Structure 1
Amino acid sequence: MPVFYYEAFNGKDKVSGEIEASNKAQAVNMLKTRGLVVVKIHLKKEESLRSSIMSKLFAPRRIKLKDREIAVLSRQLGSLLLAGISLVDAISTLADEYKSSRIGHVLQEVYDYIVNMNMRFASALKKTNSFPIIYINLVRVAEETGTLDSTLIVLATFYERRAAIKEKLKSAMIYPIMVGIMSIAAILVFMLIVVPKLKTVYSGFGKSLPSITQFVINISDFIYHNWLWLVLGVIAIYLLFRFVIKTFYKARLFWHRFLLRIPLVGNVLMLGEIVQAFRAFYTLFSNGVPIVQSLELSTEVITNEYIKQFVIEAKEQLEKGVSFSKALEKSDLPGVLKVMIRVGEQSGNLDTMIKTYLDMAEEELNIKIDRMVAAIEPLSTIIVGSIVLVILLAMYLP
């Protein structure tokens, strides 16, 4: 949209600034609604291609607020609105309180859009590119229905729970990765330090070694003499894998489906994605967003393409007039969830039934994560111990 530079009187002083509008006439009318008498107004000059590229290269990156930050901001802003403070004053107060922080920078930007460009709150949030689309849409509905204060508290609760689940899932996934890295490191120590020393001892025996011992020595020599190429090869394979997964949808779909089939880990990933997606759906639907739009927006929080596919297909079925429970009937979503959705539709309490399921599912997710972590440690010990034992036996056979 074109940007106009203006100079005007507000009754006391001369003011200037910029405003977005479709044309000059609309810009003048927008300024008049603010009580300004326009003295001068003109279209802001377009940047040259070179300056445009340079400004984009060196412009500060847009701040994407984290879930915890959104939760804190929403709860405090909602509390100020419930206390009777106006939206503009509440934003200004919090911007001053969080000055020089990420939240403060974003709030100051929101304040400028509302005050200087006459934007509504939801539009200002969208303009910052700092908030999720779910958040913006729910704020837009709240502005239209006059429930912004209570909706912000609801959003705060949603993002607090979402952050807690993401943090628990992240820590649960990091644990097996760290165990794997430590296991590989332990095996490499044996292959690169212990085995070469024993090889030196055996070289003076003057007799042939057992085949398994020679096999272990050959592997040790190969790693020792080609470690740089092996490291570069691992990095290249990793980068190629990431490129393929990011670029090709079918490859990504296959990989995400494979992840859900991994013992111990798959069930945790599946339930974690479902809880986050349907918590988003419940938050939107229970606050007045139509069911189709709620389902569409809830896909924004799903990172697994295989699960996202079910939700998208269900949304398309809903658009054709099929019931929600029928749309999910053939999906791999938990049977309990599908039953509770069907009961909720029949009783007219869909949001209540989904909330009941989510409360149970979150508890189940915590239990599954604890069980997974408890099972990984002894399992990894057995695997690594077995490999080390084979190496030791091979090297001490002679």
Structure 2
Amino acid sequence: MPKYFNRIKKTEGKTLSRLIQTEGIEVTDTVLKRISVSPIFKRKKIDIKFERKLNSNDFYFICKQLHIASQSGLDILRTIELLIEQSEGRLRNVFEDVYSNVQTGLPLSKAFEDTKKFPYFFINMIRVGELSGNLEEIFSMLSDYYYKQYSLSNKIKQATAYPKLVFVLTITIMMALFNKIIPMFTDILYQFNKQEVPLPTQIVIKLSYFIGEYKIIILSFLVLLFLIFKINKRTDSANKAKEYLAIKLPIFKKINILNTSVQFTAILAMLMSGGVPIARSIEILTNVVENRFIKEKFKRAALGVQMGVSLSESLSQVEFFPKMLINILRTTEETGTLDKTLKNMSEYYYLELDEYIKRVVIYIEPTLIIMVAVFIGFIVMALMLPIFKIYRSII
């Protein structure tokens, strides 16, 4: 449906700008009259699609604000209106779309869904809250969940930021050494030493000559490689390769297992506490997981549950989740306290993942320092060997 930008005047005389999504401009007038406002100016909105996706922090902010508003007893239209006033950029645009959808009579879950900016899980959780009449608790659970996801995402980014920085600095130092300093040293060296230079020094000098001679080609190749990587990383084949490595390389595999365990236990606990059947909950979880290889494992587990197999047995057959989680689920299925246990397990795996990321960072930093030290040390040794040789020949 087209969207119409409207400048409106409320009954108390306040002027506001609002976006109304309707089938036509005449229908827009009807909607405005129904909510007791007077249109001052209206025009059709032209959409320009280049905004980036909402992230976990945005979802946390939205859910937290909606939870606070629900606790305060504000109606949903007034809540979204306040969110529009205090937001900017892409979030403001999203809230304006939701506001116009709610004004046309859509339920909140459908209003969010029609923006095409919110994930499948988010929409389904709000739908559960609407059906159970417990939106306040749903917003609270969602805000906790997205806060943890954002926190973990940030920690993973921080863990990879240091290696990236070291790599860039190493390349910069290497280019400076081989392009400027070593050629100067080579000229001085051959003035004083006509004998054959040691092998390490020969390697460094030849490497310096190669980089100096072909630096334009090397830089062009690196830029081309970077551009190819940036373009290809969004293709299906590149994503498939990345997702495959994420569950095969030891460090990333452990992070993915723990992160998926956090998602699985947290989301399943929320869905079950909202009264969603276990088979439907697993189906929703399958749509939440982004990694296609993990998604396939979830689909097999969901099929097992639909055929009447217990959750613990279905998960044990896919051979991905930690054995401790399977054993605890098997025990709690018998006691009937599955939702509470899942919530506790979510907290446990969240803390375990946090600690694991910290340990990875602790090991990465000294490893990179040693690698750079060995590299720089070899160059220094190669430069010092002929100097010592000249010194010995003098004395």
TM-score, length-normalised on structure 1? 0.77
The equivalent of 2:326 in structure 1 is 338
2:179 to 192, 197, 211: 192
Distance 2:221 2:284 in 1: 40
Contact 1:256 1:304 in 2 (8 A): yes
Distance 2:21 2:288 in 1: 35
1:121 matched to 2:121: no
1:236 to 217, 224, 229: 224
User: Partner of 1:131: helix, strand, or coil?
Assistant: coil
Gaps in structure 1 of 5+ consecutive residues: 4-16, 22-26, 37-46
Distance 2:199 2:69 in 1: 76
Deviations 1:247-286 (A, max 9, x none): 345x644443434554655533442343234423333333
2:79 to 55, 72, 90: 90
Distance 2:173 2:335 in 1: 59
The equivalent of 1:70 in structure 2 is 59
Distance 1:174 1:395 in 2: 32
Deviations 1:299-339 (A, max 9, x none): 45544444333223322333333322222224232222222
CA apart distance, 1:19: 4.0
CA apart distance, 1:138: 1.0
User: Partner of 1:397: helix, strand, or coil?
Assistant: helix
CA apart distance, 1:124: 0.8
1:384 to 372, 377, 380: 372
The equivalent of 1:355 in structure 2 is 343
Contact 2:64 2:143 in 1 (8 A): yes
User: Any residues of structure 2 matched to 1:255-294 within 5 Å, and which?
Assistant: 255-262=242-249, 264=251, 266-294=253-281
Distance 2:221 2:338 in 1: 52
User: Any residues of structure 2 matched to 1:201-216 within 5 Å, and which?
Assistant: 201-204=188-191, 205-216=193-204
User: Partner of 1:187: helix, strand, or coil?
Assistant: helix
The equivalent of 1:149 in structure 2 is 136
Distance 1:18 1:353 in 2: 43
User: Partner of 1:119: helix, strand, or coil?
Assistant: coil
The equivalent of 1:39 in structure 2 is none
Q: 1:99 to 1:293 in 2, by over 3 A?
A: same
Q: 1:233 to 1:157 in 2, by over 3 A?
A: same
CA apart distance, 1:87: 2.2
Distance 1:301 1:281 in 2: 11
Q: In structure 1, give the amino acid aligned to 2:347.
A: D
Say which is worse superposed, 223-232 or 121-130, in terms of deviation: 223-232
Contact 1:91 1:111 in 2 (8 A): yes
1:397 to 382, 385, 395: 385
Deviations 1:196-232 (A, max 9, x none): 2221123333333333322221211222222232233
Q: 1:247 to 1:76 in 2, by over 3 A?
A: closer
Q: 1:254 to 1:152 in 2, by over 3 A?
A: same
1:295 to 282, 285, 292: 282
Distance 1:146 1:311 in 2: 29
Q: 1:195 to 1:167 in 2, by over 3 A?
A: same
CA apart distance, 1:178: 1.8
Distance 2:128 2:84 in 1: 24
User: Partner of 1:130: helix, strand, or coil?
Assistant: coil
1:224 to 190, 206, 212: 212
Distance 2:337 2:108 in 1: 31
Contact 1:91 1:107 in 2 (8 A): yes
CA apart distance, 1:123: 0.9
Q: In structure 2, give the amino acid aligned to 1:320.
A: M
Deviations 1:88-112 (A, max 9, x none): 233233333x254544432232121
Distance 2:331 2:109 in 1: 35
Q: 1:67 to 1:284 in 2, by over 3 A?
A: same
Contact 2:67 2:140 in 1 (8 A): yes
Share of identical aligned residues, percent? Answer: 26
Distance 1:180 1:260 in 2: 24
Q: 1:247 to 1:317 in 2, by over 3 A?
A: farther
Q: In structure 2, give the amino acid aligned to 1:70.
A: F
Q: In structure 2, give the amino acid aligned to 1:86.
A: D
Count of paired positions: 357
User: Partner of 1:128: helix, strand, or coil?
Assistant: coil
The equivalent of 2:41 in structure 1 is none
User: Partner of 2:214: helix, strand, or coil?
Assistant: helix
Q: In structure 1, give the amino acid aligned to 2:362.
A: A
User: Partner of 1:332: helix, strand, or coil?
Assistant: coil
Contact 1:337 1:354 in 2 (8 A): no
The equivalent of 2:308 in structure 1 is 321
1:160 matched to 2:151: no
CA RMSD of aligned residues (A): 3.4
Gaps in structure 2 of 5+ consecutive residues: 4-19, 36-43, 387-395
Say which is worse superposed, 156-165 or 346-355, in terms of deviation: 346-355
Contact 1:142 1:151 in 2 (8 A): yes
The equivalent of 2:11 in structure 1 is none
